[in-house]
Structure 1
Amino acid sequence: MKKEKKKVILEAGMAVMLFLLVVIGGRVCLKAADGSRLATGSQAEQSTKETKAQKQSEQDGNAAIQPKDGKSKKDSEEAETAANVQEGYPILGTSAVTAKELANYFKTANLPYPSEVLGKGGAEDIETFAQIYCEEAKAEGVRPEVAFVQTMKETAWLQYGGDAKIEQYNFAGIGTTGNGVQGDSFPDVRTGIRAQIQHLKAYATEEPLNQDCVDTRYQYVIKGSAPYVEWLGKQENPQGQGWATAEKYGDSIVEMIQNLPKP
């Protein structure tokens, strides 16, 4: 009986120990499993952060490549190239040149002003003649020195001698084509000057005239084909258009403008 009792106690003790071992072992496994799960979760979170950082880096890189104004690289390069193109002397625009300066410029040639003929047309002296140029040029937005100096070139400082005659009040050879063709005639000095300035504006811009058109050849000009004085010469004009066929025609006018007396 004593042996059987010991045996029962021993088996019970072993059962308790086995139970304890199972419980403790389960907790250890569970803890290990939880730790593994937590470790896996941390790795996933870290991976997510790295992915977001990589995407942000790529976006920042793209933003650095794309100009802030939204223009493509090609557009920016083309704009820079256009800005580097050397411009000439504009026909249009405001000018600080005065009628007195234009009159003084004429006087530097030491040639007589044809007051008898031009006086009949409304400009008895060079001061009045120059003032009309300033008024008519301002009305159409043309620089007065451009038109006035062109007249000095075309008429040999109002001495004429070419196909057109002084009585025509044609100050820039409008309509003259050589071989004795006299070109257009105008009723007075102001109308002749207005026609010349309107013809210049036709070359300089596509914008319409501000005054009634008196230039009889206005419709034949390709509008805006010569915005710069240098382009008035057909040989220097990119489109082959222009006022005259003589080489460096526009350049010679610019050189004369640069010789205007300074105030």
Structure 2
Amino acid sequence: MTSTADESASEQTTAVRLEKRVLVKEVWLVLALSLGASAVSALISFTGVLTSHRPLGDQTAVIVGSRAPGRPWLDLAWQIFAVVTALVPVALVAHLLARGGESLRTLGFDRRDRRRDLARGAAVAAGVGAAGLAFYLTAVAVGVSLTVDPAQLPGAWWRVPVLIAVAAQNAILEEVIVLGYLTRRLEQLGWSFRSRTAASAVLRGSYHLYQGFGGFVANLVMGGLFCYLYRRWGRVMPLVVAHTLIDVVALVGATYLIGKVGWLPGG
């Protein structure tokens, strides 16, 4: 009996080790196909910025640019393609969660509590958006951030709908993967809340490095706040709403304000 019990315990230990190993590989693969790759790309871009011998404030980071200048219908097709394919990693995460008996609903990405999610998201967006704008203007003024041009799209009828779609895509991709999925998997791997928060926040800041030091720091802080709120509410949906609203205001608002108001850099 003792021998059988020891063998059973040994098999369980081996299974746990294998499960953790699989989860680690899974996390790396998901990040390599999504925002981990974006972080590496942003780092390379930022290296180019630093070695260009030009002040950061004199350089521009474009978030949404034209993909077929002078050909609006082809441009629209490319924009739609980019939005749809960017969300494939979210579908992959949903599949991986389902294999373990979970779902995106486990992360709080659903419509169960729409009114509260919208209210919380709007409140977070107002606070974070105002603070973020103030920080960005300060960062550009002191020369630690590039001038961000949110959108360089033609003045076609689809410009605003595409910008809204991009805002929603960014929010869903980032909050589902970096906030919900990543912290969930790290918790299953035994990471503490502080460690999970640090990993998520640093990753979020890293793939915004193309905007300069200011973009990194601002998103690092935002990442920490979002992790705290996610832990408190147990749902990513309010943060998806908040992120979407922040990006809609940034993308659409800046499109019509840059060059027309003196306090907003660019133009």
Per the normalisation by structure 2, the TM-score is 0.29
Larger Rg: 1
**Richer in helix (by share):** 2
Per the normalisation by structure 1, the TM-score is 0.29
